[in-house]
Amino acid sequence: MRDEFKFEKEFQEFIKKNGHLYKTDEELVHAFLQEIFGDLTYKENLFTGFDVTEGNPQKSLELVEQALDTDVWSERKALLEKALDEWPDNYDAQILLIDPNCSIVERIEQLEDIYDDATDFFDLQEQEGWLNFEERPYIRLQHYLGSLYMENGMYNSALDVFLSVAGIDESDGAGIRYQIMSTYALMNDYTSATEFFQEIEDATEDEGMIIPLLFTAVLDQDYETAESLMRLLITLNSQVGELFTEDFWPLEKIFKAQDQSFTNLTEFTYLAQILANLTPLVTSSEFLYVYLKNLYESLQQTSQAKEPELLIPDPVVSNKVIEFPKEKVRSMPTTLEQPLFSGLTEKQVAILNDLHLNSFEAFTKVTENDVLSIKGIGPATINKLRVNGVVFLGK
């Protein structure tokens, strides 16, 4: 099975090299998949190796594609119903069958019903995450429900769903890390945002992780960290300055960029896509914008030759800022090889070791809430421990 991260990087490189050659996103994606899979059609390749015990997923997805091509609701509904006949567990089809004219309350309630039924099915699967084709509709369902919660200010519910996805999808093929980070920012939960940032490999090289943390740093008045993050952002994206040309966010330009297709992607459109998840902050906090604009302009007046140093607050020592070498943030230490601590940072392992929580048996004597009460250990860490096989007291 193809590595998900490698696949994503190959697609990004293909867009940079060949995006201008295609008129539509569909043509671009088709050309890329044909190049990757060669003579074997990409749809056949996607299904190779999957043990489908009930229904015909390939035919079902083809019917969903046909349904999306029509704007006539009666025709779309008929095609979606056929798709469910072919594969009853196609949650994409179930979502699309929700009446487009229903209220937001009804939509969320129907999605929650689908989610409850889907969870029963998912519990019977191998739970490989995005790499398992049959689990993708379930992950997309979670992503959609969580995003709907998020758009309507239901941040705790959104976070519960997003963290659930993160716990089962190590490859993060759906990009849930960005939703989690943005939710922490919208909740102004600087501590959790900082911890999650530290847990993600290569977070210091990803604008989608840096910007939410930058926002929370400013709002938490940790200006030293904010300056550090802004330096990183300027280094990574040459069009950051386009955000700070007016007295407030250039909202019209941002919203227009968010609608750009694959073939027109630029560094600015990537910034715009990140800001889409942070719209409530972008549109409501004048302080945030003015501070960031002043910070950007001041940094532009100073030398940028110096390599950015990332300063983020140590979640264990409150109100203290410690420098983290970039190498430590970007990759997991080689000392963390035992399965119990897979995916945890060196600092988190040290915290747990100091409390003698260094074996599977030790965790059976404490509850999740006990562990969550430890400074430096948050929900994301709990999910990773669960994935690694930890069973807490009372579970």
On whether residue 217 sits in a domain, the answer given is: yes
Instruction: Give, for all 395 residues of the chain, the pLDDT tens digit.
Output: 334 444 555 566 666 666 656 666 666 666 666 665 444 344 444 443 344 445 677 888 888 888 888 888 889 999 999 999 988 888 888 888 988 889 999 999 999 998 888 877 666 656 666 666 667 777 888 888 998 999 999 999 999 999 888 877 677 766 889 999 999 999 999 999 999 999 888 899 899 999 999 999 999 999 999 999 999 999 989 899 999 999 999 988 888 877 765 555 678 888 988 998 899 999 999 999 999 999 999 998 875 545 555 555 554 433 433 333 333 333 333 333 357 777 777 777 877 877 778 777 778 778 887 787 787 787 778 877 887 778 877 75
Do 234 and 297 belong to one domain?
yes
Query: Are residue 314 and residue 361 in the same domain, yes or no?
Result: no
Q: Are strands 321-323 and 311-313 parallel, antiparallel or unpaired?
A: antiparallel
* Three-class SS state of 321: strand
What is the CA 324 to chain-centroid distance, rounded? 23
Q: What is the domain extent for residue 291?
A: 189-331
Q: Would you say residue 160 lies in a domain?
A: no
Q: Cα(84)–Cα(46) distance, rounded to whole angstroms?
A: 19
Whether 124 is covered by a domain: the verdict is no
Give how many domains the chain has, as a whole number: 2
3-class SS at 75?
Answer: helix
DSSP 221-288: T-HHHHHHHHHHHHHH-TTGGGGGSSSS--HHHHHHHHT--GGG--HHHHHHHHHHTTHHHHHH-HHH
Whether residue 48 lies inside any domain: the answer is no
Same domain membership, residue 311 and residue 207: yes
350, 263: one domain: no
Does one domain contain both 347 and 261?
A: no
Instruction: Pick the last residue of a domain from 311, 331, 351.
Output: 331
Measured distance CA(323)–CA(59) in Å, rounded: 54
Maximum CA extent, the chain: 64
Whether residues 198 and 277 share a domain: the answer is yes
